[in-house]
Copies of this chain bind each other. A is one copy, B any other.
Amino acid sequence: MNKNLLDTIKKLSDVEGFKDVCHQQNENNPMPSVEVLSEIVQLIRAILFPGYFGNAAVNSKTMLYHIGVNVDKLHALLFMQIKAGLCFETTKESVACSEIDRVSKEKASEFVSLLPSIREKLHTDVVAAYNGDPAAKSFGEVIFCYPSIRAISNYRIANALLHLGVPLIPRIITEMAHSETGIDIHPGATIGDYFTIDHGTGVVIGETAIIGKNVKMYQGVTLGAKSFPLDADGNPIKGIARHPRIGNDVVIYSNSTILGTITVGDGAVIGGNIWVDSDVAPGAKLVQRK
């Protein structure tokens, strides 16, 4: 180890240098863990789609045991990650440790009670994917192989956690799916039943987007913000509505971009490679000009 390395170590350890890029977790509190969150998502998939994920030999006689153990593990792991999310955001020492524990346990328990309805919603998404893709051979193939089911599962889990007031964790869960599938759905988006995305790479669905029932989209579709108002300091104002509202039974073909707080009416069809920044009437069919 030469002088150069020793000098660099000193520079990198200088408080002035690292203070803005260093995280100060309160001692003994857990950090969110991508590995554990990935395990959590796998447990949820094993609960929601038994036989496909987790123990493949599960059947109606042993279902109770497997669901019971998976829910037990899920609750324990999720409690810790929710706590980790709350601690990550909390800078003040003032919140009592026991209070965070109680709240985290409650939120984990509430999330578990939402699993039956999440399963129902995902069931509709599987139906939509199968019906909408001539290449799909069976429900099983869709559940087991289709990246869109993985991305929508993570979104529906993350969305439920966000509505329970869990910080950070929802975003990590959707980013995991983003990395695996190229589909980037913000946990804050609102998406109806029977939702399907074909191929999916490059899809972006923004934080305040609202999507109706039975909507289908293809790869590269963006539901984005057109522009966003700045505050007095010239920085974007956080959290206000800035994404499209999509009606029921809408189809959006590949690589089209729909921007701003516009409304796309029920039954509209948006062709591929189109830029849309104003309202689209119900039943309208937009195609790229030649």
User: In the complex, which residues of chain B have a beta carbon less than 8 angstroms from the beta carbon of A116?
Assistant: 8, 11-12, 17
A89: interface (CB < 8 Å): yes
Contacting residues, chain B, for A225 (C-beta < 8 A) = 134
Once the chains bind, are B134 and A24 in contact (CB under 8 Å)? no
Complex CA gap A147/B22 in Å reads 18
Docked CA distance A219–B168 (Å): 22
Integer count of this chain's copies in the complex: 6
A245: Cβ under 8 A from any B Cβ: no
Q: Is the CB of B273 within 8 A of A179?
A: no
Please indicate the chain B residues that have their CB under 8 angstroms from the CB of A273 in the complex.
255, 257, 273-275
The 4 closest A-B pairs by CB, nearest first: A65-B68, A23-B51, A31-B56, A134-B236
| Cross-chain pairs A/B with CB under 8 angstroms, 5 sampled | A17-B119, A21-B122, A22-B50, A144-B168, A255-B273
Contact B88 A140 (CB under 8 A): yes
Chain A interface, number of residues (Cβ within 8 angstroms): 126
Please provide the chain A residues from 225 to 282 with a CB less than 8 Å away from any CB of chain B in the complex: 225, 228, 235-240, 242, 253-255, 257, 259, 271-275
What is the bound-complex CA distance between A90 and B227, given in angstroms?
51
Contact of A204 among B25, B136, B168, B219 (CB under 8 A): B219
Once bound together, how far apart are the Cα atoms of A23 and B56, in whole Å? 8
Give Cα A134 to B243, complex, Å: 12
Question: B5 near A109 (CB under 8 angstroms)?
Answer: yes
In the assembled complex, A199 has its CB within 8 A of some CB on chain B:
yes
Within 8 A of B (CB), among A54-85: 55-69, 71-73, 75-76
Distance between Cα atoms of A71 and B11 in the complex (Å) = 12
**Do A57 and B72 touch across chains, with their CB atoms under 8 A apart?**
yes
| A112 and B4 contact, CB distance less than 8 A | yes
Q: Of B57, B61, B132, B136, which contacts A25 at CB under 8 A?
A: B57
A64 touches B9 (CB 8 A): yes
Identify which of A135, A146, A171 gathers the most chain B CB atoms within 10 Å of its CB. Answer: A135
CB distance from A98 to the nearest CB of B (A): 8
Q: Which residue from B32, B75, B135, B259 sits with its C-beta under 8 Å from A188?
A: B135
How far apart are A189's CB and chain B's nearest CB, in angstroms?
Answer: 11
